[in-house]
Amino acid sequence: MVEEKDLKQWKDAGHVARRTLEGIKGEIVAGKQWSEVIESAERFIRRHGGQAAFPVTISVNEMAAHYTSNTEEVPPEGMEGDMVFQKGDLVKLDVGVHIKGALGDNALTIEVGNGGEHTDQIKAAKEARDAAIEKMHPGTPWHVVGEAAQQPSIDAGFEPIRNLSGHKMERWSLHSGVSIPMYSCGPNNPSYKGEVEAGGVYAVEPFNTTGKSGTVENVPPQGSSNILRVTGSVKIRKALKKGKLKPLGATMARYIEERYSTLPFAERWAYPLLSKPFPEESEDSLRRKWKALVKKLTNIRFLEVYEALRDVDGGFVGQFEHTAYITEGGPEVLTVE
């Protein structure tokens, strides 16, 4: 639970997260590279007093979530052409900010060129977010929140995505163990037991789709999102002592942990750290060393990697997200300008 004395940092993080979305969305135009927008958003966060709580992600059309650019500029599997916005693309921009571990997480969906092809879907996703938040009073069962989130999409002829959830957040933890249904899961669903709690901070993010099944799947291969995270469950000193890590691997693990704690980070943020111990190494050699390092740190469960997500039917996906703090009187949206 967030105490009143800490709330200012959460509000500040939410404020920077919202300003970033609003300040960057105008850069999503036909002909611009995805990576340019991602990097511009991350610079915006730093200029306005925050740090990225996770890499800024761009998800286009059937891509639902969890894709950020990497140093090799490799597109997600199955995508043809360059990672450049095209007129008519349905684009999700997801931005998270932290201030000393206090978090703000928000997202929006826009259509490149504003041609009106996706207006109803965008409107339904936004209304789904707002309808869910309206129900988030202390003591409300989670399935009631899910019912509210589902209805605007169903009414507009879209399917809610059922295997993506909102999530409770705590300091330094984006997903702190409570998932929020964004569809009508029913009162007896074992994944969504419990109720809204006063003092909780929740990321509310319904997704909808033009696909029929309302389901997303991982994009291969493993790690396709280019996002990683320190699990927090492996101590570097113990791993070194037991021979699970060599001294250089332990040093790199410390570099990563000191910079990102247990919040998600981008491959493109961490990969340049290798140039410190290997200043004369060729690019090919550095790539091999980086891949070997990630494989080792993943195998010992020091790191976990994320996959990008896409609609299983190839349907276009819409999403909106706010961070809400629950007071005794009801929800207070923190991701406001």
Residues known to be catalytic: 94, 105, 167, 175, 205, 321
Whether residue 96 contacts residue 17, with contact meaning beta carbons closer than 8 Å, is answered with: yes
Q: What number of H helices and E strands is found in the chain?
A: 8, 18
Question: DSSP code of 271?
Answer: G
In 3D space, the residue among 178, 254, 245, 164 whose CA is nearest the CA of residue 207 turns out to be: 164
Pairing of strands 309-311, 322-327: unpaired
Beta strands of the chain (E only): which ranges?
51-52, 57-60, 63-65, 90-99, 102-111, 159-160, 166-169, 179-180, 201-204, 207-209, 216-218, 227-230, 265-266, 303-305, 309-311, 317-319, 322-327, 330-333
Angle at 216 between CA 214 and CA 219, to 5 degrees: 160
